[in-house]
Structure 1
Amino acid sequence: MATPEKDLETTFNEKGELISPVLAAGVKNFLIDIDGTVCDDIPNEEPERMSTCLPYPDALRIVNKWYEDGHIITFFTSRTEEHREITEEWLNRHNFKYHGMLMGKPRGGNYHWIDNHIVKATRFKGKFTDLIVKNRDVEVFND
């Protein structure tokens, strides 16, 4: 697992205190689900399947391309902390390039991410390809 420090800009507030790092211009910060997105959907109740499933070839290729292009790759999964070791081993065995992994994402859909930064959401519909720009309706706060 690589570290993204080279892609982050150190930033300080007016008091000289270190604040959250800022991504370099043009760098995207991808949060990518695992089960049902880069491999078959393996429920937490069947962890024995986690080590034997195969990655989707197009997902592996595109994720590694994004990594090589300098973007930040973080897997954000509903797998629990008890599945971290088997998940890291699986990602590494299949040569996924990534910077980090967040465990314990709530299961189910209908996520609403509220942030003071721009958030772009892309729903996975069965095939990884290069991303293209399309305009869609989104829910926003009423001014």
Structure 2
Amino acid sequence: MKKIVLSTLGHTWILDLDGTIVKHNGYKTDGVDSFLPGAKEFLNSIPEDDMIIFLTSRTEEYRILTESFLKKNKMRYDHIIYGAPYGERIIVNDNKPSGLKMSVAITKGRDSNVDIKPVYDETL
């Protein structure tokens, strides 16, 4: 289990979709998406006040299929960005003057379990 320690401030979760939350290209090979083990539990553990942004290399032609799957499974999100390039995803952010690190990066194996556990520390 990958534990990440976070402040109690609101967060922005930027999550890749294929191979991270759902089976990579399952919507093409199986005709439907399927959650990876632990993905639904992980998504449901994100506080309601946090923002969820999905990134995907899927083209706009898969918008209805993708959003229908998420809606059917009662998965909340704020935005989905389609057509993201296949290369690395880079986040650049500044730290708070208090020293709080304002970005966290987690890389996981493709189609592996989603075993990320946020822990909220009120002292941060």
TM-score by length of 1: 0.60
Counterpart amino acid of 1:31?
I
Cα separation, partners in 2 of 1:77 and 1:36, compared to 1, 3 Å = same
Q: 1:73, 1:55 → 2: CA distance?
A: 16
How many residues get paired? 104
Report sequence identity in percent. Answer: 24
2:41 to 36, 43, 61: 61
Q: How far, CA to CA, are the matches of 1:41 and 1:81 in structure 2?
A: 17
Q: Does structure 2 retain, via aligned residues, the 8 Å contact 1:51–1:86?
A: no
Give me the TM-score of the superposition, normalised by structure 2.
Answer: 0.68
After superposition, give the CA deviation of every residue in 1:94-118 in whole Å (9 maximum; x if it has no partner). Answer: 221212211111113x333334573
- Is residue 37–residue 113 contact of structure 2 (8 Å, CA) maintained in 1? no
- Structure 1 runs (4+) deviating above 6 angstroms are none
Q: 1:99 aligns with which of 78, 83, 91?
A: 78
What is the aligned counterpart of 1:122 among 94, 101, 106? 106
Alpha-carbon RMSD across the aligned residues, in angstroms, is: 2.6
User: Is there any run of 5+ residues in structure 2 with no aligned partner, and where?
Assistant: 1-7, 96-101, 120-124
Structure 1 gaps, min length 5: 1-24, 133-143
1:1-143 residue pairs with structure 2 within 5 A? 26-42=9-25, 48-49=28-29, 51-68=31-48, 70-108=49-87, 110-115=88-93, 118-125=102-109, 126-128=112-114, 129-131=116-118
